[in-house]
A and B are shown apart, each in its own frame.
Chain A
Amino acid sequence: DTAVSQTPKYLVTQMGNDKSIKCEQNLGHDTMYWYKQDSKKFLKIMFSYNNKELIINETVPNRFSPKSPDKAHLNLHINSLELGDSAVYFCASSQDYRDRGEKLFFGSGTQLSVL
């Protein structure tokens, strides 16, 4: 069973469209994250939710809106897609963000290409 699963794996779309990426974890973790990996492989956190509550929002444009219907799911909705949004988006989870040294479990990534 996949611990952190995200769909779709590939997403190709036109500028201006709205798209969503879904993430689910079956590890029973309380905290979930979205990280963005740019074309140079640099990884940066975007959002973090703990038990459905937003705890990290890292200067991300308002076009990006995370939604956590329950602690096992964290979806990412992107409005009015721009060329610069092209990247790989990783979902991750950890037991509890307040636990020191908690390792993150990552999904396999969603390659978003905006044309």
Chain B
Amino acid sequence: AQKVTQAQTEISVVEKEDVTLDCVYETRDTTYYLFWYKQPPSGELVFLIRRNSFDEQNEISGRYSWNFQKSTSSFNFTITASQVVDSAVYFCALGSTDSWGKLQFGAGTQVVVTP
């Protein structure tokens, strides 16, 4: 069975602080994909990143960075120098091999950035 755990329910930071969101996954598949999505207060789901199981290279996109470690089954997400606009719920998700569109989502982490 596939499972995604986001143990942090809510993280509150002050603007310009860094914040790291944890994501731990479980799967028996050797090939799989991991995703992060952002859900701002307006409610839509915005794709942030996709990572396949064969690529453990860390990725940086502006103030966002991702650390994928197969050894610990983790795919953590860091926002550097957070801004108020980063306030949102962030979801980690795992793609299934029986249907790549069937995503197993974590429970989400609410990030609150205050000025």
Contacts and interface: CB of A to CB of B under 8 A. Distances in A.
Interface of A: 31, 33, 40-45, 48, 55-56, 88, 90, 92, 94, 97-109, 111
A102 B33 CA distance: 9
9 contacts: A41-B108, A42-B108, A56-B101, A56-B102, A90-B45, A97-B102, A99-B100, A108-B42, A108-B44
A23 B42 CA distance: 18
A107 B103 CA distance: 16
Contacts of A43: 91, 103, 105, 108
Contacts, number: 68
Contact of A33 (B50, B95, B101): B101
Most buried by A among B35, B37, B39, B100: B100
Nearest to A42: B107
Of the four ranges (under 10, 10 to 19, 20 to 34, 35 or more), the interface on chain B belongs to 20 to 34
A107 B42 CA distance: 12
A100 B29 CA distance: 13
Given A48-B102, A101-B95, 4 more contacts: A33-B101, A48-B99, A92-B45, A97-B101
